[in-house]
Structures are given as C-alpha cells and as structure tokens.
Chains A and B, each alone.
Chain A
Amino acid sequence: MAGLSFDLIALQLFAGLALGAIYVLFAIGLSLIFGMLTVVNFAHGAFYMVGAYAGIYILMLGGNFWICLIAVPLVVGLFGLAVERVLIRPLYGRGIDYPLLLTFGLSYVMVELVRIAFGKTGFPFDTPEVLQGAVNIGVGYFPLYRLFVIGATAAVLLALWLFLEKTSFGLIIRAGARDPQIVRVLGVNVTRVWLIVFGIGTAIAGFAGLLAAPLQGVSPEMGGTILAEAFVVTVVGGMGSIGGAVLAGLLVGVVVSMTSLFVPEMAKVSIFALMAVVLIIRPQGFFGRAGLMS
C-alpha cells in the first residue's frame, strides 16, 4: 500500500463524512417515518430520485440551484403528503407488512413514471458555479461542493432538532414516537401527525437527492442503491431514532471510506456485514426501541 500518510487518511476521513452526510439525510427520513408510523418506506429511494429530477425540472424552467434548495423539498414533501393520504392511510391496522409492500410497488411505479417523463438515460447536473473547485483544508484539496453538502446537512439537522425540541408539534411527534396510544387518548389527531411526518420525511429525502445530483448526476435508478445502504444505516442507528440515524450515517460513511482505502472491493459487503452483525447482537441498533416488532 503505497503512499499511506496521515494526510491521506485524514482526507479519506473527510470524504467519509461527506459521504455519510447524504446517508444521514436519507436515513433520517426513513427513521422518522418508521419511528412514527411504523412504516418501512421502500419507496424512499424513489422520493430521493424524484427530488433530483425535480431539481432538473426547475433548472429546465429557468431556475437556479438556490431556488431548487427551497422548492424541491416543498414539491417532494407535498407529493409525500398525497401518497400517505391516498395510498398508505388505508393500510394502517392491517399489519406491519402492508405499507411496506405498498411502498415496494410504489417505487417501481415512480421510477417508471420518471423514465416515461424524462427518458431512461439520465442527465448531468452541473455543480453551481459558486461551489465549484476545491479548497485546501489543510490535509489536501477537497471539493468545495462536498463541504457545502456537509454544511447543508448540518443546517437541516439543526432545523430538525429545533423543530422537535422547541415546538409543540415537535413535542407531539416525540411523544407519538414514544407511545402513540397515549397521545391519541390525550385527544391529538394522530393521523394528521403521521401525515405531516411522512411529508417531512420524504421532503428531506428529496432534498438529499437534490444535494446528491451534482455529485453523481441524475438517473432513474439512483434511488435503488442508496435505499439498500440506508437500511443499513437505519438498522444500525436504530429504527425510529434520529440521533441514531445521524451517528450511524456518519459511521457507515467512514466505514465505506476506510474500507475503500484498504480493500475497496469489500466496501459494499462491509456495510451489509456490519448490518447483519448489529442485527444479531443488538437488533435495536444504537438507540432504537427494544422489542420493536410486528
């Protein structure tokens, strides 16, 4: 292994953090939705992909990246609201599998609809000019845009934390995650809370897709791979725990990054192996609720 220096390892760590940031955003939505609704959203990757395409569409209409940052989560979130209301709500109470299965079919439909609307090949997504280029972070040159991604993720996390800790709606969400029955007994319209949580979760996923677009371009299949990886994150962090999702997301990003340094072919397997180990030893992950089952 030639050229292994402290600088390289530090740079690799930073790359891992940036990688982890996208995982974190994606996994937070998944975790929120599972924690509150007990729904495993198999279509989360599709929402992520729709976010990226919404960005493309807005750019086509003449907008710029900064408008996208605001418009995309709104658009995707609204779409998420509609999906919850029309497709998922009828399935509550039927067992934990049905919403999962529904979202599974939904992902096929969403991907194909995007293919019909935008074609199969995908599009390039240029990094906004202001964010192009690389900066010297001390240990080497690092793309400016990736620093932006880390920053944007931190901003979203802060906003989410403030929302959950400081607002009354956030209080309801936290209570509902702890014990939905009591919240209902207290007269809160839990169904409406679930609707909004689903909207927020999918909005964040769409935002993650938009952030990822300049990194890897946009294609109808882009949601598939990240979904599988995000399951690892949510499981390791604990389904239903935001803090867990953050920690696990960063951890997974760093694990992939470090494995790439030493045994790149194993990078993908390593996270699934990690997931299997966690599930067997401590199924609820870092901070998940123990005994969470059907």
Chain B
Amino acid sequence: MNEMTQPYPRAQALPVSWFEFATRHRASIASLVVLVFPLVMPFTALAANILIYGLYALGFNLVYGYLGLLSFGHAALFGTGAYFCGIAIVHFGLPWFAAIALGIAGGLVMAALIGVLAIRTRGIYFAMVTLALAQCVYYLFYQAVDWTGGENGLRGINVHVIDVLGIKLDFINPLTRYYVIAAFVIAAFFVLSRILASPFGAVIEAVRENETRAKASGYDVALTRLMTFVLSGGFCGLAGALQALHLSIVPIEILHYDTSGVVVMIALLGGMGTFFGPMIGAAAFLLLENLVSLWTVHWQLVVGAIFMICVLFFPAGIWGTLVSRGKR
C-alpha cells in the first residue's frame, strides 16, 4: 500500500462545528429545550415564568443586543401587552386568542408611540427618554382605575378552557397551561429567527456596527431603528399577554421601571446579541431568585453581586462566554 491508496485523512474536528450547527437550527433546538423544560424545573409555574421572561428578554435583545440601543423603558411594552390582553378578557369578554392578538397589537402600538419620540436620541439619552416615557405610561395606567384596577391590579383574567380547533384544553392544569404558553413562545422563536436571518436582520446589524456607513449605503437608519423597536414591542407585548393569562392578574408593578431593570439584567446575564442568550438569562435569573430566596431573605444581595461579577468578568453573559469559548 502506498500513499496514493491511503484513505483520505480524517479531519481533526467534526466537519460542522457544534456552534454552527446550533446557529443553523437555533429555533428548533430552543423549541426542543422548551418542550422538556418543565420536567427539570422545581415547579411548572416557574418554568412558565421563565418562558415568558425569556420572550420578554428576546424582544428587548432585538433593540439592545442587535441594534445597540439600551432602553430602560421596555416595561411599558411588556405591561401594555399584559393589560390589553387582560382588559380584553375582563371588560370585553373576548376569547383568549383575540386577547392575545390584542396584547401583541398593544405592544406594537406602544412601541411605535415611544419609538417615534425616542428614536431621535442616542446613547445615554435614549435610556433616559425611554425611562421617562415608560414612567408616564405607568402613571397613565395607574390613574385609569376603571380599566386597569389601578394600584390593586387587574383581576379576573380567568380562562379555564382553551378551545383549539375543537379540542378543549384545561388551562387550569399547570402542564397544559405551560405547553400552551410554550407553543406561542416557540412560534415567536421561529418568527424571530426568520427576521434575523432575513436581509432586514442584516441591516439591523449594519446599523449597529457603523451607522454612517449604513446610511451611506442607502439604508434609512431612523426607519430601521423605529421598525426594530416596534418589532421588539410585538414580542414583548406577546410575552405580557401570556403573563396575564398565566397569572390571571396584571399587577401595576409590571409597568414600573424595576421591570425594565430586570430585563436589562436578564439580557446581560444571558448574553446580548445572541439568540439563546435571553432565554438562558431568564432561566438563570429566575432560578437564582427562586433558589436563593429559599435559602436566605437577602436574595437581592446575591443577585446583585452576581450581576456585578458578570459585568466585570463575563460581559458576554453566560451564553456569550460559552460561545466564545466554543469558537476557540
């Protein structure tokens, strides 16, 4: 046997790295994880919360991770979605799917309103404007007591049966409720993945990387920004609507700047600008909160300290750090 007939030498690594594989099938992988998730979580309601906050963070990530704008007012989008869905059910008696659609619409509309005003500013000012506008939204909903319940929150979002193409699902059953929510979140994954993979997704990243160049290439930067913000509102609005259905209430705190702060923390923890980051961040944050609360009353200390450590040493977040290690 001579060299000529030797079999072709084996490559050192797999022909497709796990990272590339994950990126190409990201929506499917995420969906798979979501399906088996409740089996490993302490309780199903927590798993559902993680999905919901993960979706919220996914929407936020569009603006922060992909567009590069830090918003401190995303609670307004999340909360509007929740309230629109809740009000549809409590005050108008609409069926659940109409309520969810209204929630998404609410998120889109609120994002358009805030976006139109905020998009003119940049950097720190953007963060401050979104914070201020979100606070105005908070007070608006707070004062509209007849619609929102004001400080007492909106109660009575009681959906017992979900009717899907003739099949009646018991929404009170925790696992059933989880899978209904999961179905929407999975759909959102696919939509988001398509958007990011589309030419529009490339424009978003172009604007973030070098605005002047993007403008020079003929892209309408302001419009791109606004559209991304509005899209973000849609995802956050959906998350809010699901939250309303899951908890059967909408608390006024959902519009408070603390809720905006939470999504910033989650996004950073998980890894901004990545697809899986927000979900992982949500899981990490909520699990941490849950576990630490069981052990000590001072969970804020632990969560705050971990957050600071991430900012200092792991700015790419959990997933981001894993990804960069995996790339090497």
Contacts and interface: CB of A to CB of B under 8 A. Distances in A.
Contact flag (A, B; Cβ within 8 A): yes
A91 B315 CA distance: 10
Interface stretch (A52-60, A141-149, A209-217, A266-274): A266-274
A116 B268 CA distance: 27
A280 B261 CA distance: 22
Q: Is the interface of B mostly helix, strand, loop or mixed?
A: helix
A104 B261 contact: yes
B198 to A, nearest CB: 26
Contacts of A293: 122-125
Nearest to A112: B301
B301 A279 contact: no
B308 A109 contact: yes
Interface stretch (B39-47, B50-58, B128-136, B169-177): B128-136
B132 A276 contact: yes
A21 interface: no
A276 B136 contact: yes
Contacts of A269: 135-136, 139
Contact of B315 (A98, A228, A239): A98
A40 B124 contact: yes
Contacts of A261: none
B128 A275 contact: yes
Given A279-B121, A293-B125, A105 B265 contact: yes
B132 A105 contact: no
A239 B124 contact: yes
Contact of A273 (B127, B136, B268, B305): B136
What range describes how many residues of B lie at the interface? 35 or more
B311 interface: yes
A178 to B, nearest CB: 18
Nearest to B135: A272
A104 B264 contact: yes
A98 B308 CA distance: 10
A113 B125 CA distance: 31
In terms of DSSP, what is the predominant structure of the interface of chain A?
Answer: helix
B190 interface: no
Contact of B139 (A107, A272, A280): A272
Interface string B100-121: 0000000000000000010011
Contacts of A90: 312
Nearest to B303: A108
Nearest to A34: B124
Given A101-B311, A279-B121, A111 B300 contact: yes
Contacts of B311: 91, 98, 101-102, 105
B212 to A, nearest CB: 13
B123 A292 contact: yes
Contacts of A107: 304
B152 interface: no
Contacts of B68: 294
A232 interface: yes
A94 to B, nearest CB: 7
Given A102-B312, A105-B265, A269-B136, A280 B300 contact: no
Contacts of B265: 104-105
Nearest to A275: B132
Given A105-B265, A272-B136, A276-B129, A116 B301 contact: yes
Given A105-B265, A275-B128, A280-B117, A112 B304 contact: yes
B301 A109 contact: yes
A106 interface: yes
A129 interface: no
A97 interface: yes
A96 B257 contact: no
B129 A279 contact: yes
Interface in A44-102: 87, 90-91, 94, 96-98, 100-102
A231 B131 contact: yes
Interface string A147-169: 00000000000000000000000
A92 B298 CA distance: 30
A115 interface: yes
A203 to B, nearest CB: 22
Contacts of A40: 124, 127
A270 to B, nearest CB: 10
Contacts of B312: 87, 90-91, 102
Interface string A254-288: 00000000000100110011011001100100000
Nearest to A291: B122
Interface in A217-270: 228, 231-232, 235, 239, 265, 268-269
B278 to A, nearest CB: 16
Contact of A94 (B124, B300, B303, B315): B315
Contacts of A228: 131, 135, 257
B301 A113 contact: yes
Nearest to A279: B129
A102 B300 CA distance: 14
Given A94-B315, A97-B70, A87 B301 contact: no
Interface string A32-47: 0010000010000000
Interface of B: 68, 70, 117, 120-125, 127-129, 131-133, 135-136, 139, 143, 257, 261, 264-265, 268, 298, 300-301, 303-305, 307-308, 311-312, 315
The 9 closest A-B pairs by CB, nearest first: A108-B304, A293-B123, A294-B123, A105-B307, A112-B301, A109-B304, A105-B308, A293-B122, A275-B132
Given A105-B305, A275-B132, A280-B117, 4 more contacts: A40-B127, A102-B312, A115-B298, A294-B122
5 contacts: A98-B315, A107-B304, A275-B132, A279-B128, A293-B125
